Amino acid sequence: MLLNHQNHLFKIPQEITYLNIASQSPSFKAVYEAGLEGLTQKNLPYRIKGSDYFEPVSKLKKLFAQLVEVEDYNRIATIPSVSYGIATVAKNIKLNPGDEILIIDEQFPSNVYSWQKLAEKYDATLKTINTPRPKSNRALLWNEAILNAINSKTALVAMGNIHWSNGSLFDLKSIREKTKSQNALLIIDGSQSVGALPFSVKELQPDALICAGYKWLFGPYGCAYAYYGEYFDNGTPLEESWMNRLHSENFAGLTNYEPQYKPLANRYTVGESGNFIYVKMQIAALKQVLEWTPKAIQNYCESISSEAVKKLEKLGCHIENSNHRSHHLFGIELPNNLDLQALQKDLSNKKIYVSFRGNFIRISCHLFNTPEDFESLIACLSKHL
């Protein structure tokens, strides 16, 4: 499917060049309207039925399960953040002294701090796979280093599908095969890929997939999703929510305290998961993402950025080979002698929104962007380069 730009669905002013969805997505109109509907429901609480706490959440889980190709939506938990989902994983893992946890260089903090605590608790080793120094074939060398680092001591590999700051693609299929051969867990943070890049739990079979909902999935800030595989079927949640116990739909019997959790990942869903406003917004967002399809989004982002990448490279910037990075998110490595503060100020004055990560500019685009947005960026950069 070939998509045209969808900026008519958004409310981004024409003078704004927004290339920073990796930090925070804009809402499109259907999500905004769904939020208003949720506010109306809260405003009239006497209309709220018992089923309103549960049925919309099941619908939401089914949509996310469809997006990441999970057959049983009961393996999906709705959570408030990536750190919550990662902490849930860490709580249910036991290690031996000397075990190794593998993470990637400059990984996002939410996918690091829990592993630091876990390594400290069990006298294990937290091992970081560093970014290769050469500019050419960096992603290939990085994948090779990850695969070589997985050995009999490896208990767990925690990483993204792409690197969150520069879009380097990781070979999860090969990494999953290697982790399986060493009986190691694979925990994926899909926050910067799921929704804009095809991802299949069925194909990759990670032990857990944790994903923020306010970026490429267009949900409100404060929502996230988690898939938990068989390893976590009988685990302990971070909190003891009444909604996650069997028969919790029976409000009259809630004080008949139930010792058993609902099956599979339902035990890990955050308390008050039936949030009327958030859930409605998330459902509207996922419906639209599924209609667009991640593959079509990826193809569109490539089509609007490919010429810009060539021009940026001619200006002296380095960008990873297109076969080894994502197209919705990628890094522009700037020359070392550039005055970054002057560039940041100029971009801000021209209302061009990007992220700076060290000596990189992180570009993240979507269906509301056009080739003209990249021309605005290049025009600004060229003066400084």
> What topology does CATH give the domain 39-291?
Aspartate Aminotransferase; domain 2 (3.40.640)
Cβ neighbors of 171 (< 8 A, separation 6 or more) are 143, 147
Please provide the CATH number assigned to the domain covering 7-19+293-384.
3.90.1150.10
Q: Do 189 and 160 form a contact (C-beta atoms < 8 A)? A: yes
Structural contact between residues 40 and 294, judged by C-beta atoms closer than 8 angstroms:
no
Per-residue pLDDT of the chain in tens (385 residues, 90 and over written 9): 678 999 999 999 999 999 999 999 999 999 999 999 999 999 999 999 999 999 999 999 999 999 999 999 999 999 999 999 999 999 999 999 999 999 999 999 999 999 999 999 999 999 999 988 777 788 999 999 999 999 999 999 999 999 998 999 999 999 999 999 999 999 999 999 999 999 999 999 999 999 999 999 999 999 999 999 999 999 999 999 999 999 999 999 999 999 999 999 999 999 999 999 999 999 999 999 999 999 999 999 999 999 999 999 999 899 999 999 999 999 999 888 888 999 999 999 999 999 998 778 999 999 999 999 999 999 999 999 8
- Kindly provide the b/e burial profile for residues 333-358, where b requires at least 16 CB atoms within 10 angstroms of the residue's own CB: bbeeeeeeeebeeebeeeebbbbeee
Alpha-carbon gap, residue 130 to 107, rounded angstroms: 10
CB distance 119 to 264 below 8 Å: no
All structural domains of the chain with their residue ranges: 7-19+293-384, 39-291
What pLDDT shows up at residue 1? 66
**115 Cα distance to chain centroid:** 18
Question: What's the confidence (pLDDT) of residue 2?
Answer: 75
Q: What span, in angstroms and rounded, lies between the C-alpha atoms of 329 and 301?
A: 9
- Whether 77 and 225 have beta carbons less than 8 Å apart is answered as yes
| Residue located via tokens 């988690």 | 226
Q: Retrieve residue 280's tokens.
A: 């409605």
